[in-house]
Amino acid sequence: MDLSKLTISKARKALDAKEYSALELTNAYLTAIAEKNPEIHAYLEVWEDSAREEAKVADAMIARGESQPLTGIPIAVKDNILIEGRTASAGSKILENYKATYDATVVTKLKNQGAVFLGRTNMDEFAMGGSTENSAFGPTRNPHDTSRVPGGSSGGSVAAVAANLALAALGSDTGGSIRQPAGFCGVVGFKPTYGKVSRFGLMAMGSSLDQIGPVTKTVEDARIMLEAIAGYDAKDSTSLADSATRSGTSLEKVIGVPREYLREGIDADVLQSFEATLARLRAQGYEIRDIKLPSLTYSLAVYYIIMPAESSTNLARFDGVRYGLSVPAATIQEVYTKTRGEGFGPEVRRRILVGTFVLSSGYVDAYYRKARAVREIIRADFARAFSAGGGSSLGGESVDAIALPTSPVPPWKFAEKAVPLAMYAADIFTVPVNLAGVPAISVPSGAVVREGKDLPVGFQIIGAHGNEETLFTIGKDVERGF
């Protein structure tokens, strides 16, 4: 079987038709991993034995005629999603030896379908970063050019799918951590509506921003994965009622483009590629409409206040007492400071300190509360773009979706963005989506050339709250053009 051509849909048909068994499929991936993972470093740990056992169970399900969409499908899981009894380190020294005590809801759902878990994938420590260079266990390499980063923070999950070391993977997206690496590695990355997928068992980073989502090779596969993991969960108080999903909304085929936001900070050929994809959509009958999202300019600044504020709060739980690393010291105060000082890497420490500052007495109003207020303006801007505008003084743009490049630049070389702000700037097109809580997808859309190598470019489509369906429709139309 040719893994490079394989998708979930194709594997499903082949497994159900008994062309090959789930065990054979899993073995094919394990062989590919043994061969290529030492170079790519997508996986931090591979679970060969249990994967084979799970594949056998899947084969039995298929033999009984109980096959479900993901039965026997080999997938990879980001290292910040819990699987009971398995190490989950979030790419951090502080959790290097931590074993999860329960299954994340998404994992339970995948287990129930008989999916096969190949291993856990590398990531920027606690999902903080856009290159996977912040992993405490060494970076992942981009399969398209191993001298370049795969993007991040879900770099391992994305590289695994792109290098055919998994048929699909789970990632998490707080400010672009699924979409940006998917764009960098030429695969599909999906960030669902905030609350669409339960986060029970996902290590919290920015709680008002985090979402689990799929990394796949095709838009159809992303839909299959999303259907498997989505749904209300009583264990996640932010999870949405299933009725919040819009279905059957008619598509007017209008895509809005906030061109004022594309004027600077974007590589010329990346912009060219974006325009070329828009042109292809126009040829398929879409209207491409210029829209205004005036507050978008502030999203990066708002994000880099809210995210560190929430992260520093969430990471307060790592104190060397209940789990993870504990550095012995004379007093409890020193146990805290030494454990956190040794356990957290430089970027995590930096964000904890920024978060502590913006929440500190005297500055919380000017930074954190102000950022929350500006966030609401950003959210309102998005809502207005999608609304028909009846009764609104500003008028709605009534677009079906908004298009933006996934990243302003192609994947960069290792250590190229050593200055924190340089790395943060690459998140410019993805963070507004998390601030607004809306869904978005990154679909492969051609390539740009750097030093003689083709580097993938992602095309990002952003949908209205609860309307993932439109993204799948438009995403498939983008796919069709390539």
Partner 1 sequence: MADKIDPVRSSPPPRPSGRASAGATSNGVDVRALAQLARLEVSDEELAKLEREIPDILKFVETIQNVSVETEISSPELRNVMRADENPHEGGMYTEALMKAAPSRVGNRIAVKQVLTRKNTKSEARNPKKYEI
**Residue number with CB closer to partner 1 (4 or 243):** 243
CA distance 234 to 297: 36
**Residue number with CB closer to partner 1 (204 or 255):** 204
CA distance 365 to 344: 28
CA distance 166 to 285: 35
Structure tokens at 430: 């993805």
CB 466, min distance to partner 1, A: 12
Show the DSSP H helices in 230-323 as ranges: 268-283, 299-314
Query: Does the active-site annotation cover 393?
Result: no
Residue 56 parent element (H or E): helix 48-63
Query: Choosing from 78, 109, 191, 417, which is the catalytic residue?
Result: 78
Residue 76 parent element (H or E): strand 74-78
Residues 406-425 that bind partner 1 (CB under 8 A): 419-421, 424
CB 266, min distance to partner 1, A: 18
Residues 280-309 that bind partner 1 (CB under 8 A): 295, 298, 300-302, 304-305
CB hemisphere CA count around 281 (13 angstroms): 28
- Choosing from 144, 196, 217, 340, the residue that interacts with partner 1 (CB under 8 A) is 340
44 close to 137: Cβ distance less than 8 angstroms: yes
Closest by CA position to 443, among listed 412, 405, 402: 405
CB 186, min distance to partner 1, A: 31
CA distance 466 to 279: 27
**Residue number with CB closer to partner 1 (1 or 244):** 244
Query: Does the active-site annotation cover 4?
Result: no
77 close to 45: Cβ distance less than 8 angstroms: no
Coil/strand/helix, residue 88: coil
Altogether, the residues listed in the chain come to a count of: 482
Query: Choosing from 177, 312, 442, 445, which is the catalytic residue?
Result: 177
Residues 21-80 that bind partner 1 (CB under 8 A): none
CB hemisphere CA count around 90 (13 angstroms): 26
Stretch that binds partner 1, among 3-11, 252-260, 341-349, 441-449 (CB under 8 A): 341-349
- Choosing from 244, 260, 363, 449, the residue that interacts with partner 1 (CB under 8 A) is 363
Residues 147-176 that bind partner 1 (CB under 8 A): none
- Choosing from 2, 49, 264, 365, the residue that interacts with partner 1 (CB under 8 A) is 365
Site size with partner 1, rule: CB under 8 A: 71
- Choosing from 4, 237, 243, 393, the residue that interacts with partner 1 (CB under 8 A) is 237
**Residue number with CB closer to partner 1 (10 or 369):** 369
Residues 366-405 that bind partner 1 (CB under 8 A): 366-367, 369-374, 376-377, 379-380
Query: Choosing from 153, 157, 273, 312, which is the catalytic residue?
Result: 153
Query: Does the active-site annotation cover 360?
Result: no
458 close to 410: Cβ distance less than 8 angstroms: no
State the binding string over 306-335 for partner 1 (x if CB under 8 A, else -): ------x---x--xxxxxxxx--xxxxx-x
**Residue number with CB closer to partner 1 (265 or 482):** 265
Residues 422-461 that bind partner 1 (CB under 8 A): 424, 437
Closest by CA position to 180, among listed 430, 428, 434: 430
Closest by CA position to 304, among listed 151, 405, 434: 434
Catalytic residues: 78, 153, 177
